[in-house]
Amino acid sequence: MSMHIDFKGKYFTEVISKDVVRTIIQTLTVRIIGDIYVRPGERLKDELNKSEKFIAVTNADVLNARGDKLYHTEFLTVNLDHVLWMSPVDATSEWTAEG
């Protein structure tokens, strides 16, 4: 990893620090519960506004319409054209996530 320090003492690295936001994503056919990464101090909406076509999701469970778990994957990308709604898990009062 390389690092550069400017004349003001501010440092720059190749690594971008991000916060994890556990998120529920509803598409026409499945619901995805997984982690999306946002820059510190930003909202999920800010990350979506920066995304062009796809958003990366890690540690994701994919559920069918009845809420049955179809599979788990460590990484997937979601085409934003297929998203009906999206919400941080901690912002949903009626949601109870397992694990």
pLDDT tens over the chain, length 99 residues: 576 677 777 766 666 778 899 999 999 999 999 999 998 888 888 888 888 899 999 999 999 999 999 999 999 999 999 999 999 998 766 555 554
Question: Is residue 96 one of the residues assigned to a domain?
Answer: no
Residue 48 CB-density burial (10 A; 0-12 exposed, 13-18 middle, 19+ buried)? middle
| Alpha-carbon gap, residue 43 to 64, rounded angstroms | 27
pLDDT for the residue numbered 8? 75
Say which CATH number the domain at 53 has: 2.30.30.100
pTM for the full predicted model: 0.75
Question: Is residue 28 one of the residues assigned to a domain?
Answer: yes
Question: Is residue 83 one of the residues assigned to a domain?
Answer: yes
Question: Is residue 77 one of the residues assigned to a domain?
Answer: yes
| Alpha-carbon gap, residue 59 to 2, rounded angstroms | 28
**Could you tell me the residue range of the domain that residue 73 belongs to?**
17-90
